[in-house]
Amino acid sequence: MRRDGVWRKSSRSGGEGNCVEVAALAGARNSAVGAGDGVVGVRDSKDRPGPALSFGSAAWTRFVAAVPAGERDQQL
């Protein structure tokens, strides 16, 4: 995955260091992402060069909308 997007910390991050960063990754390639779909990268802010996850932008949008609604609580 390309890592040259503009990374930003979650607006919900506190001062404890348990933060995630997200970036819209232009031109990223991921076989799990459909053609024409953007890619959102997610990484640990304490390990920036370490592993990162990538999601199609549509899937990321659905996830972000579901979290405040508590829809994922039952699946964890």
Residue 40 in any domain: the answer is: yes
Picking from 45, 39, 47, the residue whose alpha carbon sits closest to that of residue 23 is 39
Residue 58 in any domain: the answer is: yes
Residue 2 in any domain: the answer is: no
pLDDT digits (tens, 9 = 90+) for 4-25: 678 898 776 766 777 889 898 8
Residue 76 in any domain: the answer is: no
Q: HSE (CB half, 13 Å, CA atoms) of 47?
A: 8
What is d(CA 21, CA 52) in angstroms, rounded to the nearest whole number?
10
The domain tally of the chain equals 1
What is d(CA 25, CA 74) in angstroms, rounded to the nearest whole number?
30
Residue 76 has pLDDT above 50, yes or no: no
Residue 45 in any domain: the answer is: yes
Residue 46: which domain range? 8-71
Residue 3 in any domain: the answer is: no
For residue 31, which amino acid is it? Answer: S
